[in-house]
Structure 1
């Protein structure tokens, strides 16, 4: 499996959409700070985000991001998908595969925090609340991608 810690030293062309290589994150997870936000997408979209340098608009607000980490063990893929679908105009989350991959992005000063929140129910029945952010930027500076890979929800 391929592990990518930093994209600053790796530049290769965009893979063909049918190739779908396995991508995973390392055991050392990206730091969760207010500057690190996560975009949840399918694998081909994540690869285009990483290699193509663009952000897909996944909501009526543009690119909608959250501080929900992709290694949150006490929440299921289906619950994350449900929450993304219901939260503030997210589009394209009819199937859990649509949120199976992530891009961790660093956007200090380039996002707006929304009043809406991502509300999920944990596997223990607890309510989990995460912030939502939006950006209308379509181009993505490659140095803003902290890491990317396959989500590891519980």
Structure 2
């Protein structure tokens, strides 16, 4: 099942949903983050995604489409803007920041990844989405969770 739109969505294997755990991937502008071969503890994932909106740590008013790659990566991934997202995403180095209009992501597959990701290699991946889309799709994910799992 997909929750979102063609530019940003969560793919969930509902057949493997077990209480608060589900295999889940995030797809941003065609770039896949995570694996459906592992489960994610959904309450922690939702909390991490909500933190992008609420925590000052992820907010940078000067980040924009022209400079966000440099903010995340300058020869190596920066120490700032780290995001966890739960087990399905542990094979990746991940960064996320936002301004008042967009959410910016960067990730890279670890050299010693546990799962095989086929088409995903070790290149740096940079993607951004409109903040209003992020908020809307996060709300849809939370609604799906409430309808299929319960409160978190």
The two structures share one fold, judged by TM-score above 0.5: no
Q: Which has the higher helix share?
A: 2
Answer 1 or 2: higher relative contact order, Cα 8 Å, separation at least 6.
Answer: 1
Q: Give the TM-score normalised by the residue count of structure 1.
A: 0.30
